[in-house]
Structure 1
């Protein structure tokens, strides 16, 4: 089974989650209402999947580990591009979701591997209200090959002009995730790797390293 950061995994039994301490009350409640965890960026260990549990508040986030043999359903950001996968009512669309609909033709025309993440993805996948009127739209773009800076800058400009909310776009590379805005504006970038954040020259994001991730395509 291949998993990537930002994938959502449906949890069928809270006992399948391993944490350093007992689940806090907010986490238990969150899993009852929306039994999902998100794959986080960390090395797997002993067959366990690194995941995160989210509550209704921004400070309610908990790292955990999930037994891989009990995974029954995975929802990737790419799957949530299609409204057919959404578990929300069309007449209750938040500005972030309306912006997602507006920019979808641009990204599909570019033939990219992409999808919504964060609160937008969680609400679309679960039907649980998590977005506010002020929420950003989080996106991930996956690139196994180097993205020309000029091409990235042009794409970012098109998306910002079309979206009605602030965009937070992460460019996923074999080395890790980096802000698209930072990538197109700076030769050195902060990249989130499996082992932690590091500052690198943007040209090294596609270096062929033994331990880096590649993406399903």
Structure 2
């Protein structure tokens, strides 16, 4: 297996058209809530075109992931996870509904319950955190996706076939040669465990696939609250969201 590059790291959510009205006047992205943070919510606001499975999913685990979208003041763009990759629902939460925030990096040392640590994504995560001399150890990073969700909520979300999704915070420029070494570390672990590892760099320009940056492409796709766009240098002082 290999570290993936083709599949988009940021999951696409079926966004409620009614809920989208809450963001019509949006012009900002609140830095308190970062993409891929998990929010524990005291309630989930309902909209007319809410999907049928959403209430049950939220009742099982009252968490939602922060997604990339501009929001109106006082609101946070969130995604609710259901069973399977096809069940993703995008909506908005009011900041007053947030009980707590779980950042991906806070989950690096977390352990799954019930003997589930033998699942491949958890095995890969354990291998990455155990090597203090490997390139990844020099970064702030953490699991997202199903692995992060299960570690944060204690609700089963990982399967034998689950990828391991990682977020690596890179506020400062990341040299291409360093990115290549980091990519190779992840690829080695992925091949040994037999799963796919997808890693995203969180840069000032937005989310960038590590695989794309390490490949030396002239431009890479940045996923930003205002929409995806192509950029040559994600750490340039003028980096910001724009049209794709």
Is the structural similarity TM-score above 0.5? yes
Greater relative contact order (Cα < 8 A, sep 6+): 2
Relative distance call for 1:188 and 1:102 in structure 2 (3 A) is same
Given that 1:18 and 1:65 are in contact with CA atoms closer than 8 Å, whether structure 2 keeps it comes out as: no
How far apart, in 2, do the equivalents of 1:73 and 1:126 lie? 12
What are the within-5 Å matches in structure 2 for residues 48-127 of structure 1? Answer: 48-83=75-110, 86=111, 88-89=113-114, 91-93=115-117, 94-106=119-131, 110-127=137-154
Residues 86-106 of structure 1 deviation map (CA, whole Å, 9 limit, x = unaligned) = 4523x2221101100001134
TM-score, normalised to structure 2, is 0.78
In structure 2, the CA distance between the partners of 1:158 and 1:183, relative to structure 1 (3 Å rule), is same
The alignment covers a number of residue pairs equal to 204
Following superposition, the deviation at residue 23 of structure 1 comes to: 2.6
Q: TM-score, normalised by structure 1?
A: 0.87
Provide, for residues 13-47 of structure 1, a one-character-per-residue CA deviation record: whole Å limited to 9, x for no partner: 22xx364x343220001001011000001123121
Root-mean-square deviation over aligned CA pairs:
1.9
1:28-43 matches, within 5 Å, as 28-43=55-70
Deviation of residue 64 (structure 1)? 0.9
Paired position in structure 2 for 1:150: 177
Offset at 1:111?
A: 2.6
Please list every run of 5 or more consecutive structure 1 residues that lacks an aligned counterpart in the other structure. Answer: 213-217
Q: Which runs of 5 or more residues in structure 2 are unaligned?
A: 1-30
In 2 relative to 1, CA 155–210 (structure 1 residues): closer, same or farther, beyond 3 Å? closer
How many Å apart are 1:211 and its aligned residue? 5.8
Q: Distance in 2 between matches of 1:50 and 1:72?
A: 15
Alpha-carbon offset, residue 108 of structure 1: 7.7
The structure with more helix, counted as a fraction of residues: 1
